[in-house]
Structure 1
Amino acid sequence: MTEQDVTRLLQKIPQLKQEIGKVIVGQQQVLDEVLVALLAGGHALLEGVPGLAKTLLVRTLAQATDLPFRRIQFTPDLMPTDILGTEVLEEDHGTGHRSFKFNEGPIFASLVLADEINRTPPKTQAALLEAMQEGHVTYAGQEHALPKPFFLLATQNPIEQSGTYPLPEAQLDRFLLYVRIGYPTEQEELAVLSGTTGAVRAEVRPTLGGEDVRQLQVLTRQVSISPELLAFVNRLVRATRPATSEVPFIKEYGRWGAGPRAGQALILCAKARALLQGRFAATLEDIRALAPAVLRHRVLLNFNAEAENLTPDDAVAALLKAIPVQ
């Protein structure tokens, strides 16, 4: 990749944000974290109460990236084959020969929206595990490769909402980032009301193609990070484990800590954030900014923490305060 290619790719990132901003008002941190997951080659889980434009954000991203897009509406009666696909018996009318053909499900797209993923039981949620981790689907003993890039964005309502199923820890760990969407500010909400109740609709133009995304993902891994920051991330992740942690908050309230995948995720995300800002070296600020989204679904707290209304974000804040950069 030449210097001109790199410059061309980096110039497209502000254009991409501008196109998405035609539809999505505010939510800058949410958009940045979604783009970080895309550049890092991972997947993201978006959580927020109904009506906060989670689905609209993903649809707009699909329009702005010009990636093959499929939406899967998760419901209590959804089956794994509704996601992955199934085999059908076909007959050649000329020869009379019959054979099974695999019909691809909606998971076979570059950008997949798993809408309200926690409204379907764990059995169906688990159908995504292999696709998210391995980039292929196995059916009847045969592997079927997913397109590249493959980016899955799942949305969910908070667990407190009725009719939802908590995602198992193994499923949560497949998500690079767990992104929380809050209510807009007063001015942002006013802009939403003004822009969505009129006759004119914003037109989103494609900015990035599939090859652009693949090149950006390659470029992300080439961003440098110092040995000191690598060691910091290693200490940070290891400190989430109650059995060996020296952080008082974790020793008192921790039930289960993060595995090595969390460290890999945090480093890749820090590199992607640096690239989004036009830098080729990750910084401590990149790591601190993304630590909550990387760790909040990988750190489990005990009943004492729940009784005191403490959250994994409180644990991450305590970790960042306690672990020094050496």
Structure 2
Amino acid sequence: MDIHSEILSLESRMCRSIIGQERVVRSIIICLLCDSNLLLEGMPGLAKTRAIRSLAANLDATFKRIQFTPDLLPADITGSEIYVPDSGSAQDAFQFRQGPVFGNLVLVDEINRAPAKVQSALLEAMEERQITVSGKTYALPRLFMALATQNPVEQEGTYNLPEAQLDRFLMKVLVDYPSAESEKGILDLVRREHRQKYADRKSAEKPAEEERVKLDKEAIYRAWEAIADIHVSEQIKDYIVAVVQASRYPGRHDAQLAEWLAAGGSPRATLGIERAGRAHAWLNGRDYVDASDVQAVAHDVLRHRLVLSFQAAASGVTVEKVIDRILSLVIAG
């Protein structure tokens, strides 16, 4: 099986355990292929954590979970130096103990429940793939992906994420309610899982052969190399830049758009659309990026990077509507 087929098989296995959230699964796969971080936002019970666990269950990689709470400390994430009285020398008296951030897939659950001091502990890890403790720098694994979740409705005991941290997520994906048909499928899936859980030991030790298949990290590295070679024409580069420029200087395109936007996307948004567009094209079996790839990933890449004006908020204008407006005004060359 070639690497492209292996990745599509991974996606298919995830979709079978996350019914009705195919779009969310595709976004998770794209972020994995882009060697980037992902933020999932949705109401409780919409399988945000389950989706991330499903990815971990199908990858031969180290999975770590951090439950963010108001009393969490930065050292609880990064690790810290501890005193070892029985060490052989004074130089080794303080030894570093790794925190949960030293994993391949790191689930940051309810990321907005910790104050900014704790959230900032992830900044260096997310961007530079390293952490610094007591003046010493420690590299994170080659495959490192922070997958964060947050609840959009609960405000008590939560803290807004700093813009600098939001910008380090390649995508912000909104998890919506499943359809009636999908929800019926969820009932059947969970019932089957409960039956297996409560079955006798013999049946519990006989998982399906396909469920035991785990994708090796080397396959992910090969996919990174293949996606790096995806062709992006000058016209598509111009289109990506024009989309992001329209978010910064909306008055050049539309007076109403200018009223809606207070701040646009940074160059990270441009890089993110191009990188996610290459991964999207590769997943669809093409060796080049076209305008449909840009449009497919634009919402997830721009959603958390645009700042709406007070007028937009007062008028009930959503960021989705703003991005739709930008894409309708900027035409691919």
If the length of structure 1 is used for normalisation, what is the TM-score?
A: 0.93
The verdict on how the C-alpha distance between 1:249 and 1:269 changes in structure 2, with shifts beyond 3 A counting, is: farther
In structure 2, C-alpha distance between the alignment counterparts of 1:245 and 1:44, rounded to whole Å: 31
Residue deviations 1:114-155 (CA, integer Å, cap 9, x gap): 011011111111111110000100111111000011111000
Shift of 1:200: 2.8
Aligned equivalent of 1:237, options 244, 258, 268: 244
In structure 2, C-alpha distance between the alignment counterparts of 1:242 and 1:300, rounded to whole Å: 13
SS of the residue aligned with 1:200? helix
- Does structure 1 retain, via aligned residues, the 8 Å contact 2:49–2:109? yes
Per the alignment, residue 262 of structure 2 pairs with 255
For structure 1, which runs of at least 5 residues remain unmatched after alignment?
Answer: 1-6
Aligned equivalent of 1:216, options 223, 234, 247: 223
SS of the residue aligned with 1:114? strand
- Does structure 1 retain, via aligned residues, the 8 Å contact 2:278–2:289? yes
Aligned equivalent of 2:183, options 189, 193, 197: 189
Aligned equivalent of 1:75, options 66, 69, 79: 69
Aligned equivalent of 1:35, options 25, 29, 36: 29
Does residue 120 of the first structure (1) align with residue 114 of the second (2)?
Answer: yes
In the TM superposition, 1:1-326 aligns within 5 A as 8-92=2-86, 98-198=92-192, 199-200=195-196, 204-242=211-249, 245-326=252-333
In structure 2, C-alpha distance between the alignment counterparts of 1:249 and 1:162, rounded to whole Å: 34
Q: What is the letter of the counterpart of residue 49 of structure 1?
A: M
- Does structure 2 retain, via aligned residues, the 8 Å contact 1:239–1:247? no
Residue deviations 1:168-223 (CA, integer Å, cap 9, x gap): 11110000000000000001001111211340367633432111112212221111
SS of the residue aligned with 1:22? helix
Shift of 1:249: 3.4
SS of the residue aligned with 2:84? strand
SS of the residue aligned with 1:285? helix
Residue deviations 1:11-44 (CA, integer Å, cap 9, x gap): 1022112221331112111110111011011111
- Does structure 1 retain, via aligned residues, the 8 Å contact 2:15–2:25? no
Q: What is the letter of the counterpart of residue 191 of structure 2?
A: T
- Does structure 2 retain, via aligned residues, the 8 Å contact 1:25–1:188? yes
User: Could you tell me the percent identity over the aligned residues?
Assistant: 39
SS of the residue aligned with 2:172? strand
Shift of 1:323: 0.7
SS of the residue aligned with 2:311? helix
Q: What is the letter of the counterpart of residue 167 of structure 1?
A: L
Shift of 1:161: 4.2
The verdict on how the C-alpha distance between 1:218 and 1:245 changes in structure 2, with shifts beyond 3 A counting, is: farther
Greater Cα offset, 220-229 or 19-28: 19-28
In structure 2, C-alpha distance between the alignment counterparts of 1:79 and 1:153, rounded to whole Å: 19
Shift of 1:244: 6.1
Greater Cα offset, 243-252 or 59-68: 243-252
Shift of 1:247: 3.1
Q: What is the letter of the counterpart of residue 170 of structure 2?
A: L
- Does structure 2 retain, via aligned residues, the 8 Å contact 1:125–1:167? yes
In structure 1, C-alpha distance between the alignment counterparts of 2:40 and 2:80, rounded to whole Å: 28
The verdict on how the C-alpha distance between 1:245 and 1:300 changes in structure 2, with shifts beyond 3 A counting, is: farther
Per the alignment, residue 4 of structure 1 pairs with none
Q: What is the letter of the counterpart of residue 196 of structure 2?
A: V
Q: How many aligned residue pairs are there? A: 320
In structure 1, C-alpha distance between the alignment counterparts of 2:47 and 2:170, rounded to whole Å: 21
Q: Cα RMSD between the aligned structures?
A: 1.7
Q: What is the letter of the counterpart of residue 321 of structure 2?
A: D
Q: What is the letter of the counterpart of residue 93 of structure 2?
A: S
Shift of 1:112: 0.5
If the length of structure 2 is used for normalisation, what is the TM-score?
A: 0.92
SS of the residue aligned with 1:167? coil
Greater Cα offset, 248-257 or 133-142: 248-257
- Does structure 2 retain, via aligned residues, the 8 Å contact 1:73–1:115? yes
In structure 1, C-alpha distance between the alignment counterparts of 2:14 and 2:2, rounded to whole Å: 19
SS of the residue aligned with 2:212? coil
SS of the residue aligned with 1:16? helix
